[in-house]
Amino acid sequence: MSVGQVFPEQYLTQLTDKVTRVQQLLANFNAPNAEVFASEPTHYRLRAEFRIWHNGDDIYHAMFDSESREKVRIDHFPVACRAIADFMPVLLKHIQFNHELRYKLYQVDYLATLSGELLVSLIYKRPLTNSWLEQATKLTEALASEYNVKFIGRSRKQKLMVSDDYVTEQFELDNTQLKYQQVEGSFTQPNGEVNRHMLGWAKNIANKLSGDLLELYCGNGNFSIALAPCFDNVVATEISRTSIKSAQYNIALNQVTNLQVVQMSAEDVSAALQQGSTLKQLDLTNMQLNTVLVDPPRAGLDAGTEQLVSRFNDIIYISCNPDTLAQNLQALSSTHDIIQLAVFDQFPYTHHIETGVWLRKR
């Protein structure tokens, strides 16, 4: 794909190619035909990062071609959701001749939600003063009648906020309103609508299960909060302190009472459960941990975590890398069968694909 461009007429063909590749990778594991969850072909991404280029009085967003490393001017960005794409020229218009907001502005990061909030991080190669905060506050007030936008200013070892450093995503899933705090700089699912499909697919499976759930790599509670009503108890683990704080905030925000989060790496969880039945003073002896949900990084599951999840009756595996998923299935297929397979196109016009697998112990 050309930098910043989309080609909707090619979308279904490219998606078909990605689905075919996943099916071929998993063919040796007797995987069923995949359920396919497509993305919108335009305006699908809720996060975007740009360099800001200065040329005299002109100022514009720019990206770099991943192969040639050449700078590409971005005046229209149909990859981003409407909230971001429509706001990009508005931002430039308001800061172009505002010295305090423009001077040595190096980068702009956007974070949006399906519910219409927008967080804009302005990143500088200079120290920021109260004058910057005053101008950013005035800009927020000037835009308030048309845009639900918040501004953050960043420079080396410095962060200034007009109000908050997060947005709150809100959407409905199975007649339930879900809310998630999404903090600037932390991981969030980039394709909001496809994320809803992922949660819906996983919850449909969870509705068929019973007992308690262990989730590894829980992030801000994206899956565990959505799936909590399906289980008696949920224990979720995550290594990132920022994500743990957001998960705890989101548990309270959604009034979930059967979910506990623990700050531990998947490797440490595996080691702890091998040695006993506690996780950081959390007693698991009275729990029926029949189901595990994993959403690992691109490297997949390490050997210890592989061994841990193989002990569970049901495994819901969300993968951002089908190659490492296939590697993990080499081990897991010796004890489990694939019951359901799904493909979620989080990243249109790229080779990346999210895959969901439900495995059941034989």
Compute CA distances 16 → 35, 38, 157, 345, whole Å: 12, 10, 45, 10
Reduced to 3 states, what is the DSSP secondary structure of residue 48?
A: strand
81 is a catalytic site residue: no
Considering only CA atoms, which of 74, 96, 86 is closest in space to residue 43? 86
Q: Rounded to whole angstroms, how far apart are CA atoms 52 and 127?
A: 17
Lookup: tokens for 52: 């800001």
From the list 184, 238, 306, 354, the catalytic residue is 354
230 is a catalytic site residue: no
Alpha helices in 52-176 (DSSP H): 82-95, 99-102, 130-143
From the list 81, 218, 230, 320, the catalytic residue is 320
- Tokens 């995987």 sit at which residue? 31
Q: Rounded to whole angstroms, how far apart are CA atoms 262 and 214?
A: 11
Compute CA distances 24 → 18, 277, 299, 324, whole Å: 10, 39, 20, 14
Q: Rounded to whole angstroms, how far apart are CA atoms 101 and 105?
A: 7
Considering only CA atoms, which of 93, 102, 178, 107 is closest in space to residue 143? 93
* Catalytic annotation, residues: 320, 354
